[in-house]
Amino acid sequence: MDISGLRVAYEGHTPTLMGEQGGSAVLVPLVRQNGEYCLLYEIRSAAVRQPGEVCFPGGKREPGETAIQCALRETREELGIPESAVTVIGEMDFLYIRAGSLLRPVLGEVDPAAVAAMRPAPEEVADTFLLPLRELRAHPPEVYAYQQPVAIPDFPYADAGVAADYPWRPCRIEVPVYRGLPHPLWGITARITMDVVDKL
């Protein structure tokens, strides 16, 4: 049996999510404002999915696009901040957000002049705001957990050689919630925020 296809597939391979169906990336924008570092957030417009929620600029990666390229492109499209105004610090740990999809956050420092001159796209962004890292560190989030039950009614137990009462393990998901901020900050955006603050 010829294994040359395996060599082509795996030699020098950069691991990603097995069976990935698509992915997305966000820029996590650091901005120096009034002598301290802040994170820049968006509020989604009423015209997009999850309207009114707080997020970072980002979206789906296009074919052949890296996470950094995607994050910078989406930031330009959503906020009018050019790629040249962002100094990429590095890629953060990715998040598994649903079946077959990874979210790749990219940490970058944004020129304050570009933030002052940004022009958010109204069809995507209702508003923007800055939160100082100092304030986020002083008020850590509360973390809540929920479980997603497993339901596979047509699973071929006999063919798999397992009993019909197989003890499937439900998925446990943690959801952080920051309280007392000007806008609600929770979920994936809060998890990314926590990761930045934890590494200060």
**Domains along the chain with CATH numbers:** 19-198 (3.90.79.10)
Query: CA 159, 161, 164 angle in degrees (round to 5)?
Result: 90
Least confident of 23-27, 41-45, 122-126, 148-152: 148-152
When the pLDDT of each residue in the chain is averaged and rounded to a whole number, the result is 93
Strand, coil or helix: what is 13? Answer: coil
pLDDT at 177: 97
- What's the pTM? 0.89
Quick one: pLDDT at residue 65? 92
Mean pLDDT (whole number) for 111-139: 96
- Report pLDDT for 14: 81
pLDDT over threshold 70, residue 99: no
Q: Which helix (H) or strand (E) holds 188?
A: helix 187-198
Max mean pLDDT range (15-19, 64-68, 112-116): 112-116
> What does the pLDDT read at residue 152?
87
Q: For position 155, what pLDDT does the model report? A: 93
Question: What pLDDT is recorded for position 134?
Answer: 96
Other Cβ atoms closer than 10 A to 4 = 7
